[in-house]
């Protein structure tokens, strides 16, 4: 039995517990109960957690700026496949002073450059590239915040002077106009080695210089690209080039206007030519290009195209496990799953590149309906569709459509595989390919038909033949003038590594050697003719955006130099600080 005082004490306390406010009760429970130590420990832990969270938020806010572009590039946008090969001597081609010091790396998820596969430094290089992109974005922001919008441009205005008009000239980033000499006029037969910059004398039309070329895959599109690059360069036209010196417009994502360098920053007011790999999206392309733009593209017979694609993209999931194209088709494409990334290369890729649904139709009725829709969409958006199998005929037609000269479309075959990486296909396999790519086969047949109808209704076969012969003669002359071996050689034989074409998959892509005794003007002309896509794209970017290219090169140099000494993180911070200082001083 408890003494009366203790009973009274208990009653009093019980009364207080019941009548006190919930907060007071909590405090009392925490402080007075025998579990008070546990409560204290819990409170301390809670406070610690909150503090840690806040610290995290602050750190995130600080690094958000740095990570913005990285996340944009790596998460929102899809990766690209092609990255330039060695660029060590490349800048010399156009005497552009903003050197590209570091070779960027492939960003494609499944593809690495052949010579780098299995190389543990690839990841490190990828990180470097991301860092450079981040730094570039910073610079771009700085430049736009301190630069007034560029004045509207007129056609043929020199684009080198256009960018960042209010930026003071800094010796590190000199803007240089290429010295492009107008070659002397030639009559078509006698002066074999000159390239006229205007349309043929006989032509009275106005040359077109607002052009979109949808660069399809494995269709001789790199050769067309080279024609457009040379024409645009010699006429000081502005190219709608991929953001951040990428070589493709974020293919295989649908094209978006902001994939083009200079769009988001509004530093370029008028683009003339858009021609890098993209997945076509009419609405977005029209945001970038003027209303009077001429749209064209090129198709190749899906049979030959798939043979080429298979060798080149052997690493994609659909082709990876099979030994040959025959095996892939005999198995009915068992290893193909349309929803797996990069498998779009394996089926109806032409339809895919035109931005249309490339999934295989399930019945003939569906095939009829879908192919009719695809053809209608292509005819609505494109004024001319060329055919790779009739390449020279295509060039003649293109020359007329653009009101250019034969010299303007004279070209060497680029991106061509050597004989030893080609596999002839049996008639059976060819039929299987057509069935597998039923949509592409339908549209190829249709546009092959309309190609010849167009020739018949415009030029006529006789004129076409005449011009094709002239074109061939011009090519032969150029080959004799420019090329050491008179034609293409295997990559191992290419002497100037800066002119080596990008090697990929199991394909052996041929290149060229220039003759040694060429004078400067001729060398320049010849060099442009044989310059592979990736190198030419970088050179044009450097010329069009000298400051961005130079900053990228500087960042790359620093990263390369620091590779063995400090961690990348420290270098990244360092570069950022330097860029900020440089920009605020300018
Ligand atoms: N002038 C000319 N005439 C006919 N065929 C030509 C021409 N130029 C390039 N080619 C062939 O086109 C194939 C390369 O196509 P692309 O340049 O479009 O390839 S890529 O998608 O850009 O990688 C590639 O085909 P394959 O050799 O079968 O792979 C080239 O040989």
Distance 276 CA to ligand 1 centre (A): 15
Q: Is 219 in the pocket of ligand 1 (CB under 6 A)?
A: yes
Confidence of residue 8 (pLDDT cuts 50, 70, 90): low
Mutate which of 80, 84, 108, 220 to test ligand 1's pocket (most atoms within 8 Å of Cβ)? Answer: 220
Mapped onto helix, strand or coil, the DSSP state of residue 436 is helix
pLDDT at 36: 72
Q: Is 437 in the pocket of ligand 1 (CB under 6 A)?
A: no
Rounded Cα gap, residues 494 and 482, in angstroms = 14
Q: Is 280 in the pocket of ligand 1 (CB under 6 A)?
A: no
Mutate which of 388, 395, 474, 511 to test ligand 1's pocket (most atoms within 8 Å of Cβ)? Answer: 388
Report the nearest atom of ligand 1 relative to the CA of 413.
Answer: 8
Nearest residue by C-alpha to atom 11 in ligand 1: 220
pLDDT at 277: 98
At 243-292, the pLDDT tens digits run 999 999 999 999 999 999 999 999 999 999 999 999 999 999 999 999 99
Report the nearest atom of ligand 1 relative to the CA of 305.
Answer: 28
pLDDT at 314: 96
In the β-sheet with 273-274, what is the strand arrangement from edge to edge? 273-274, 211-214, 294-299, 384-387
| Contact predicate 326/424, CB 8 Å | no
Distance 219 CA to ligand 1 centre (A): 5
Whether residue 83 is predicted with pLDDT greater than 60 in this model: the reply is no
pLDDT at 42: 82
Q: Which two tokens stand for residue 81?
A: 């496949």
Nearest residue by C-alpha to atom 30 in ligand 1: 416
The candidate with the shortest Cα–Cα distance to 203, out of 396, 408, 404, is 404
The candidate with the shortest Cα–Cα distance to 132, out of 542, 539, 570, 558, is 558
Q: Is 413 in the pocket of ligand 1 (CB under 6 A)?
A: yes
Nearest residue by C-alpha to atom 6 in ligand 1: 220
Nearest residue by C-alpha to atom 15 in ligand 1: 218
What secondary structure letter does DSSP report for 101?
-
Q: Report residue 363 CA to chain centroid gap.
A: 35
Report the nearest atom of ligand 1 relative to the CA of 422.
Answer: 28
Distance 391 CA to ligand 1 centre (A): 10
Rounded Cα gap, residues 25 and 43, in angstroms = 16
Which pTM value belongs to this model? 0.70
Distance 388 CA to ligand 1 centre (A): 8
Distance 507 CA to ligand 1 centre (A): 12
Distance 300 CA to ligand 1 centre (A): 9
Distance 487 CA to ligand 1 centre (A): 15
Q: Give me the torsion for CA of 444, 445, 448, 449, rounded to 10°.
A: -150
At 457-504, the pLDDT tens digits run 999 999 999 999 999 999 999 999 999 999 999 999 999 999 999 999
The candidate with the shortest Cα–Cα distance to 272, out of 395, 98, 402, 174, is 402
The candidate with the shortest Cα–Cα distance to 393, out of 458, 304, 442, is 458
Residue whose structure tokens are 């139709």? 361
Rounded Cα gap, residues 438 and 442, in angstroms = 6
């Amino acid at each position: 039995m408890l003494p009366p005082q203790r009973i009274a004490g208990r009653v009093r306390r019980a009364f207080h517990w019941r009548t006190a406010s919930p907060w007071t009760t909590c405090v009392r429970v925490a402080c007075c109960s025998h579990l008070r130590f546990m409560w204290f420990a819990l409170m301390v832990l809670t406070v610690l957690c909150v503090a840690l969270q806040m610290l995290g938020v602050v750190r995130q806010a600080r690094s958000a700026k740095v990570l913005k572009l990285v996340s944009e590039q790596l998460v929102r946008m899809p990766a690209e496949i092609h990255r330039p090969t060695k660029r060590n001597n490349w800048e010399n081609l156009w005497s552009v002073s903003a050197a590209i010091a570091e070779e960027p790396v492939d960003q494609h998820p499944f593809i690495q450059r052949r010579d780098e596969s299995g190389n543990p430094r690839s990841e490190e290089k990828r990180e470097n590239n991301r860092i450079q992109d981040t730094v570039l974005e910073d610079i771009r922001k700085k430049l736009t915040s301190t630069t007034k919008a560029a004045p509207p441009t007129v056609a043929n205005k020199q684009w080198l002077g256009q960018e960042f008009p209010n930026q003071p000239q800094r010796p590190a980033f000199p803007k240089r106009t290429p010295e492009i000499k107008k070659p002397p006029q030639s009559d078509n037969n006698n002066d074999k080695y000159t390239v006229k910059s205007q349309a043929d004398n006989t032509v009275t039309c106005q040359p077109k210089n607002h052009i979109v070329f949808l660069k399809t895959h494995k269709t001789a599109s790199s050769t067309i690209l080279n024609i457009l690059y040379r024409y645009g360069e010699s006429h000081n036209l502005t190219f709608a080039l991929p953001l951040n010196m990428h070589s493709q417009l974020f293919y295989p994502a649908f094209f978006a206007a902001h994939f083009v360098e200079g769009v988001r920053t509004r530093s370029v007011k008028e683009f003339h030519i858009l021609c890098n790999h993209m997945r076509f999206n009419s609405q977005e392309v029209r945001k970038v290009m003027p209303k009077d733009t001429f749209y064209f593209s090129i198709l190749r017979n899906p049979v030959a195209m798939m043979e080429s694609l298979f060798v080149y993209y052997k690493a994609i999931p659909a082709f990876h496990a099979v030994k040959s194209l025959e095996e892939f088709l005999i198995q009915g494409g068992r290893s193909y799953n349309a929803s797996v990334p990069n498998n779009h290369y394996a089926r109806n890729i032409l339809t895919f590149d035109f931005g249309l649904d490339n999934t295989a139709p399930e019945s003939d009725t569906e095939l009829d309906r879908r192919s009719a829709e695809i053809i209608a969409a292509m005819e609505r958006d494109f004024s001319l569709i060329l055919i790779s199998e009739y390449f020279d005929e295509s060039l003649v037609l293109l020359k007329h459509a653009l009101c250019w000269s034969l010299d303007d479309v004279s070209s060497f075959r680029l991106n061509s595989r050597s004989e030893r990486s080609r596999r002839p296909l049996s008639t059976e396999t060819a039929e299987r390919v057509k069935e597998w790519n039923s949509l592409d086969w339908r549209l190829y047949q249709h546009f092959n038909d309309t190609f010849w109808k167009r020739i018949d209704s415009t030029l006529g076969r006789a004129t076409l033949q005449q011009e094709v012969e002239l074109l061939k003669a011009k090519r032969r002359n150029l080959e004799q003038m420019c090329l050491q071996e008179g034609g293409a050689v295997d990559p191992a034989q290419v002497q100037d590594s800066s002119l080596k074409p990008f090697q990929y998959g199991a394909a052996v892509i041929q290149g060229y050697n220039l003759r040694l005794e060429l004078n400067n003007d001729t060398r320049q002309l010849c060099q442009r003719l044989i310059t592979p896509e990736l190198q030419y794209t970088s050179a044009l970017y450097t010329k069009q955006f000298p400051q961005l290219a130079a900053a990228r090169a500087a960042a790359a140099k620093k990263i390369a130099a620091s590779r063995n000494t400090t961690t990348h993180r420290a270098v990244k911070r360092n570069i950022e600080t330097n860029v900020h200082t440089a920009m605020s001083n300018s």
